[in-house]
Amino acid sequence: MVRAVAVTDGARGFYRGVIPGVTGSLATGATYFGFIESAKKWIEESHPRLGGLWAHFIAGAVGDTLGSFVYVPCEVMKQRMQVQGSRTSWNSTIIKDSISRKSGKQNYGYYSGMFQAGSSILKEQGPRGLYAGYWSTLARDVPFAGLMVMLYEALKDLTEYGKQIWIPSLDHHINSSVEGLFLGGLAGGFSAYLTTPLDVIKTRLQVQGSIIRYSGGLDAIRRIWMIEGVKGLFRGSVPRITWYIPASALTFMAVEFLRDQFNEKLDDGNMQETSTVPDLKLTDSAGAEFHSLMKLVAVKETKF
């Protein structure tokens, strides 16, 4: 696959669709990690039975759902730009056979950029085109997000338990950012592999042409299973894992780093508030009595 992309599309082919991909990731991250902590706290307080790992799973799933209104259109644009390849490959026989040019069918031309792709899809297919495969995308990303957060928190608890058992006398504190790097990569990679079949179905629905048409997610599952078997459902799992391991590792490292910085500033602010003595506005007579009292205390301290 790498050789085919390099030959037909060059180095640019490996970065095709990166702008809508980054835009969708930023939208997801902002809502995801901005909401997840408050969601976990609310779930644990209002529904104690759903505490622990279930709270992490639900919080991650809800946070990802909120971000889906932005990242799903970005995902559609990214997939369309990636599958089209270069202009030369777009005009090849394979692409012409895969994408319908008949009236009444999906008919879209070459996309030169994110905004041009979005406006073209909106003009030709309406809002439904930008949200093609929305429910299949949620079916993929909601379990993925919930699993990733749940596995990450479970790995953190397991790591803390292991440190207490095996190295209880460890004086050196391991930076939480470093732990986030390794544990986040493991959680993201494992979650990505488990949800690969959902990713395959979502992608097939979003990039389908006139030759192969699916009526929905269940139809896609049935036909992929009948024609390609289990291997077809896990097609592309290696690139997916390769993408999510570093992405998840860097994401959780950044989250832990920012969390540590925030907690340090919060602790410093609390210490300054407790150590600050308020200014006393005393009258002349009260001030004289205060200074006399301080002198008396000083004399008594020198006697001892």
Average pLDDT over residues 295-299: 40
pTM of structure: 0.65
Output the pLDDT for position 184. Answer: 93
Tokens of 285: 């007579």
Q: Can you tell me which residue has the tokens 């959902």? A: 198
pLDDT at residue 30 tops 60: yes
Report the distance separating Cα 113 and Cα 78, nearest Å.
Answer: 10
Share of residues in the chain with pLDDT > 70 (%): 64
Cα–Cα separations (whole angstroms), residue 68 to 138, 191, 193 = 7, 18, 21
Ranked by mean pLDDT, the top range of 62-71, 92-101, 206-215 is 62-71
Output the pLDDT for position 185. Answer: 94
Which is more confident, 33 or 152?
152
Average pLDDT over residues 185-195: 94
Confidence of residue 290 (pLDDT cuts 50, 70, 90): very low
Output the pLDDT for position 152. Answer: 92
Which is more confident, 246 or 169?
246
In tens, the pLDDT along 235-262 reads: 999 999 998 999 889 888 888 888 888 7
CA dihedral 265, 271, 275, 281 (to 10 degrees): 60
Q: Which of 195, 190, 200 is nearest to 144 (CA)?
A: 195
Confidence of residue 203 (pLDDT cuts 50, 70, 90): confident
Output the pLDDT for position 173. Answer: 54
Output the pLDDT for position 181. Answer: 92
Report the distance separating Cα 175 and Cα 37, nearest Å.
Answer: 20
Q: Which of 173, 177, 157 is nearest to 252 (CA)?
A: 177
Burial of 257 (0-12, 13-18, 19+ CB in 10 A): middle
93-97, 119-123, 215-219, 262-266: segment of lowest average pLDDT: 93-97
Report the distance separating Cα 58 and Cα 19, nearest Å.
Answer: 29
